[in-house]
Amino acid sequence: MSENYLDKIKYEKIGETEDSKQRQLNWNVAFGLQAVDNLMPSEYMTQLATENIIGNKSYETVEEEVKQYYKNANQEKVNKGEKQADEVSLRIVKILNDKAFTFNYLTLKQFHKKLFENINIGINEKYIGEFRDYNITKKEPILDGETVQYADYSMIEQTLKYDFEEEEKQKYIEKTDKEKIERICTFTAHIWQVHPFGEGNTRTTALFIQKYLNSKGFNVNNELFKDNSLYFRNALVRANYSNISKGIEEDNKYLLMFFENLLYNEQNKLDNSELKIY
């Protein structure tokens, strides 16, 4: 093998994409995921995102300008929801841009820390990037105030290890398209049901699944998260909720519809009102 040939196959440092379409898609995902927690980015951030998309400002420049914007703002008038959405959105975009990925339950911890470190999301800072050591419930509007049964905190690590081990056994190349979708839905629903963190579980799970699917070579329609991230969360709720006394069983059909649209450009109607239990 010639020395000139070796010179041509050197590793390249991953930098910021110059593809404006990809930048647009990444920002769509980032902004869309904030809707999961009823958060909206500020007008200032959307302007900065546009500047980044057209190539006028780098991620680093956007990050510095956002920091200065909130540093100089009247703190009593700062919209805390917008501030969280702005800061987390930028972090999502940067992670989506980076092609590096490790399939491991510890990556969930890493993503949670990268997304929320030094950001007030309603939990103690010591739990950012760490699994909760307490049990949780959450009243869900689509369940008429009922809650999904999340994993007991003492079983979080063992449960995730099992879910990831089972997923690693999957041979997607041998599956039909239908089988692929069903398996992805199962894996996603399982790790979300664990709810390993005190807050920020859906955004962390969605980001992880995006990175995982990209690493497997799936053609992910990122546009879908722009307007349907809340549907995604509600579909996860329905896939993990059962109440036998009310005749309700876990139902993953809504999650299947979402992933069919996400991966195979199906045109299923994603209507949040259809997920509500009365």
Query: Which residue, of 98, 124, 156, is where some domain finishes?
Result: 98
- What's the pTM? 0.92
117 and 226 in a common domain:
yes
Residues whose CB falls within 8 Å of the CB of residue 209, separated by 6 or more in sequence, listed in order: 184, 188
87 and 169 in a common domain:
no
129 and 67 in a common domain:
no
Answer with the residue of higher pLDDT: 29 or 2. 29
Banded pLDDT at 226 (limits 50, 70, 90)? confident
Burial class (CB in 10 A: 0-12, 13-18, 19+), 112: buried
Residue type, 232: F
Please report, for the domain that includes residue 196, its CATH number.
1.10.3290.10
For residue 79, the enclosing domain spans 18-98
111 and 85 in a common domain:
no
150 and 231 in a common domain:
yes
Structural domain total, the chain: 2
Q: Would 1 be classed as within a structural domain?
A: no
144 and 67 in a common domain:
no
Distance, CA of 224 to CA of 269 (rounded, Å)? 12
User: Per residue in 133-157, pLDDT tens?
Assistant: 999 999 999 999 999 999 999 999 9
Distance, CA of 3 to CA of 21 (rounded, Å)? 37
Distance, CA of 128 to CA of 109 (rounded, Å)? 8
82 and 26 in a common domain:
yes
Query: Which residue, of 43, 71, 98, is where some domain finishes?
Result: 98
